[in-house]
Amino acid sequence: SISVQASNQCGSGSWSETANGMIYKLPEVFTFTGNGDYCEGTAGATLTLSGSETGVNYQLYIDGTASGAAIPGTGSALSWTNLTTMGFYIVKALTPNCSNDMAGQIYVSAITVPAQPATPAGPVTSCGNEVAVYTVSGTAAGNVLVWTLTPPSAGTLTPSGTSVSIAWTAGFTGNASLSVQAQNDCGYSPQSGALAINVKAVPAPVISGLHA
């Protein structure tokens, strides 16, 4: 209840009539967390609110639009599961008189298994004393590349981004092949086509005969 009285150097006036109002409790702020990335073809993302209050409803929003029915608070954490719609997710706490934004915003999106990389490019003929460099193009950003040399004993692989260097094993000659596949959190791509490489011996001439 509020009333007011005015005063100056001449004294004080009468009190005003009383204005009555109601103060409502603002919903408590909890933290909205979770990994919004999910693998394509799976059930979807799971997002969690760290707590809740009884008598308060919690509404999920996607890009500012309410999604589904509000969930009544239980006094414990709340979860939303099987979320597949791409966008920014937030939660608002709602009572008949007040609302409050929960802490945290999460972007939900699907991760696809990487596509098959192209066949590696590089020299198809190499010498046993060389370090040969091979590259691959067309892989999705963020993928880890896994290189395969056949036979494995033919050389030592040193990956660097979208390229790999091969230091051929001393004494190895003949045919080898190099392929690559991409990896992310959702799995491995199909193996690329294999690049055939012919490793030639380093010439080692022998001089024989009488010495003068």
Task: Tell whether the model's pLDDT for residue 212 goes beyond 70.
Answer: no
Q: What does the pLDDT average to over 157-166?
A: 94
pLDDT of 141 over the 70 cut: no
The string of DSSP letters for the chain reads -B----EETTEE-PPPPPB-----PPPPP-BEE---EEETTSS-EEEEES---TT-EEEEEETTEEEEEEEEP-SS-EEEEEE-S-EEEEEEEE-SS-EEEPB--EEEEEEPPPPPPPPPBS-SEEETT-EEEEE---PPTTPEEEEEEESGGGEEEEEETTEEEEEEPTT--EEEEEEEEEEETTEEPPPPPPEEEEEEPPP-----S---
What is the rounded average pLDDT of the residues 50-58? 97
Q: What is the pLDDT of residue 69?
A: 96
Confidence category of residue 140, pLDDT binned at 50, 70, 90: low
- 């209840």: which residue's tokens? 1
Sign of CA dihedral 135, 138, 139, 140: positive
Res 131 pLDDT > 80: yes
Q: How far is CA 48 from the centre of its chain?
A: 18
- Position 86 confidence tier, pLDDT thresholds 50, 70, 90: very high
Of 208 and 100, the structure prediction assigns the larger pLDDT to: 100
pLDDT digits 0-9 by tens, 3-34? 999 999 999 999 999 999 999 999 999 999 99
The candidate with the shortest Cα–Cα distance to 128, out of 42, 67, 208, 202, is 202
Residue 202: per-residue pLDDT: 77
67-79 pLDDT per residue, tens: 999 999 999 999 9
